[in-house]
Amino acid sequence: MQGLQAILHGVEAKFLKTDVPAFKPGDSVKVSLKVKEGEKERIQIFERTVIGRGKDGTRETFRVRRIASGVGVERIFLFHSPNITKIQVTRRGTTNKARLYYLKGKSGKDARIAEMRREEPTTKQAETKA
């Protein structure tokens, strides 16, 4: 079976996207996707917190949850789908878990995730490193 899996990975490699940013559960992302309505096509943005990632290869997925009109809305996206035009990471979060399904029972301030703080190097620090 090892030979068959190698063949499948070779075929799937053609369909993998290379411009996908690195993100993990707890990060906030903006996902731009193509939506067809009749004959027209437009781009819709789904923005909020990543609560999980799964699978591998062309079947790789990530789950995004947001609150819309007081109702929790989750959507599962295929990473390498041709309908996803762009993924932007807007905020990095710090979590200790790989799946944040506990956020489903939380609302308001309880559903917040602490932001990962990155210190930007000042000009003097950048000059001394160069």
Instruction: Give phi and psi for 43, each to the nearest 5.
Output: -110, 125
Q: What are the structural domain ranges in the chain? A: 15-102
Q: For the segment 103-112, what is each residue's pLDDT rounded down to a tens digit?
A: 988 888 888 8
Q: Say what the alpha-carbon torsion angle 24, 113, 103, 63 is, to the nearest 10 degrees.
A: -20
Q: For the segment 74-84, what is each residue's pLDDT rounded down to a tens digit?
A: 999 999 999 99
* pLDDT band at residue 20 under the 50/70/90 scheme: confident
First to last CA, the chain: 51
Task: Tell me which H or E stretch contains 107.
Answer: none
Q: Which fold has domain 15-102?
A: SH3 type barrels. (2.30.30)
pTM: 0.78
Q: Are 50 and 24 in contact (CB under 8 A)?
A: yes
Read off the pLDDT of each residue in 89-109 and give the average, rounded to a whole number: 90
Helix (H, G, I), strand (E, B) or coil at 59: helix
- DSSP code, position 115: B
For β-strands 71-78 and 61-68, DSSP reports them as antiparallel
Q: Which of 21, 83, 19 is nearest to 53 (CA)?
A: 21
- What pLDDT score does 49 carry? 94
* pLDDT band at residue 41 under the 50/70/90 scheme: very high
Read off the pLDDT of each residue in 80-98 and give the average, rounded to a whole number: 93
